[in-house]
Amino acid sequence: MSSRQLKEKLDALQCHFTWQLGLTGQLEPTHVLQKLAVEIQHTPHPNQAVLLGLQAYLLQLKGQKREALQSLQDAEEHTRQDEQQASAAAATLIIYGNYAWVHYLEASYQEAESYLERIQQLCPTPWDAQLIPYIQAQKGWSLLAVRARNGERARECFEVALMLEPGNRYFHAGLGMALYSSWIYFQDPDIARKAIIQLERTALEQPNNYRAKIYLARLLEKVDIERSTGLIEESAENSTNPYVLKASALFWLRHNTERAMEILQRALQQDPGYHLLYQALARCYRLQWLNAEEGDNNNILEEAIRHLQKILQNHPDLDLVYVKLQLAEFCGARDPEEEENIYKELQERIDTLSPKCRQALSLYWGKFFLYKRRSLDEAKAKFMDGYRIPALTKERKECAQRLRKMARHCGGDYADAIYRFIEETDYHLPMEFPGTDLD
């Protein structure tokens, strides 16, 4: 088989390497891997194999072939434990496709061909009707595991699966979670209504599915706060999933920071390597500090600095850019020089940061120049740096808001230059501008 023929056959496979999961250039694979590790370990999906396959794909993106192959071996072991024949066969097809791609990317063409032969033996025709719903569902779970922005594509996958197997409760659970992710992105009341119907069904059929209950609680927050709070508390008390506990803590963050911190500490006992828990903890400290009575805020500040410094020392391998930025803000309250040193340190490794983290660095540094150094020009330059990065995030939006506020305040040629910059930057955006990153 020629290299071109091999590539054509690989492109036709159903696996993580062909699903266009929305990672290229926008998300740091390390961040997604750390989120995924929590899902693999703590979420009782009946599709652990496909999540391990996704892990292999991410590891291959990072150039870690050995680890990618080990993840695929673990995935194979999970398929052997799957009692549903069609589900196991679909997962095996996806795993073999991933194997073929890993070997191809490492120039092991004979190995890649051998896995193509295995796929042909397992499924002689390109699409076996019995396997379609399970392949679609596993693609849907993979899309959701990468980022919330994939909600609409995941929704399509689960809808196809349910057309072919209408009574499958796991497909209904997947559809509910895809609809929730889609609602997070679009904030459409009709999508919310459909998500509630699906998640109510899942809560009834799978009473231990606390992720579904947390999503349902979020959707009910504005229409039935009593039920919403009850679901939050039930999930916080009964779940051991750090993702669910984090979501519970973020709910309480708006009402009771002590309760939020208590839940986060329990989550950290379950999984001290889950980086987003530390980010949520930093937010708790910030709210406590801002809301403290005079005399208490210095104590909270010092405790927060000590704790965040210890976290960063103990977990140098985790993606903790936001924790470091929050530490910088705390340090700046007692010594602006110390704050700027943290920004300079992050700037030295700017090439390793995701677009969103680069935007966040520009935003924090811009606010530093605005409020601590009283330098409009340096603040404007940083906000412009953040706005130039073509990823439509909350950080980029805030950079624009601050630029416009500066324009309104200063007026004249200064304002004209800012408005012209925003207009020209938007004009030169890539044709496929990435949507809002709410993960």
Specify the pLDDT at position 436: 44
Res 28 pLDDT > 80: no
The predicted-structure confidence for 150-200, as pLDDT tens digits, reads as follows 999 999 999 999 999 999 999 999 999 999 999 998 889 999 999 999 999
**pLDDT tier for residue 122 given thresholds of 50, 70 and 90:** confident
Res 262 pLDDT > 70: yes
- With CA atoms as reference, report the closest residue to 70 among 95, 39, 47: 95
Specify the pLDDT at position 126: 53
The pLDDT > 90 percentage for the chain reads 79
The pLDDT > 70 percentage for the chain reads 96
Spatial distance between the Cα atoms of 426 and 405, rounded to a whole number of angstroms = 18
Spatial distance between the Cα atoms of 234 and 248, rounded to a whole number of angstroms = 10
SS3 214: helix
The predicted-structure confidence for 380-414, as pLDDT tens digits, reads as follows 999 999 999 988 789 999 999 999 999 999 999 99
Specify the pLDDT at position 438: 43
**pLDDT tier for residue 435 given thresholds of 50, 70 and 90:** very low
Specify the pLDDT at position 439: 43
Res 431 pLDDT > 80: no
Specify the pLDDT at position 31: 84
Are 303 and 19 in contact, with CB atoms under 8 Å apart? no
pLDDT, mean over the chain? 92
Least confident among 121-130, 221-230, 428-437? 428-437
Q: 63: which residues sit within 8 A by CB, 6+ positions away?
A: none
Q: At what angle do helices 85-105 and 132-146 cross, to 10 degrees?
A: 60
Model confidence, pTM: 0.89
Res 103 pLDDT > 90: yes
Specify the pLDDT at position 3: 86
In the chain, domain spans: 3-146, 353-439
Res 81 pLDDT > 90: no
Which CATH number is associated with domain 3-146?
1.25.40.10
The predicted-structure confidence for 248-258, as pLDDT tens digits, reads as follows 999 999 889 99
The predicted-structure confidence for 41-64, as pLDDT tens digits, reads as follows 988 777 899 999 999 999 999 999
Radius of gyration of the chain (CA): 24
Q: Among the residues of 333-430, which ranges form H helices?
A: 336-348, 355-371, 376-388, 394-410, 412-427
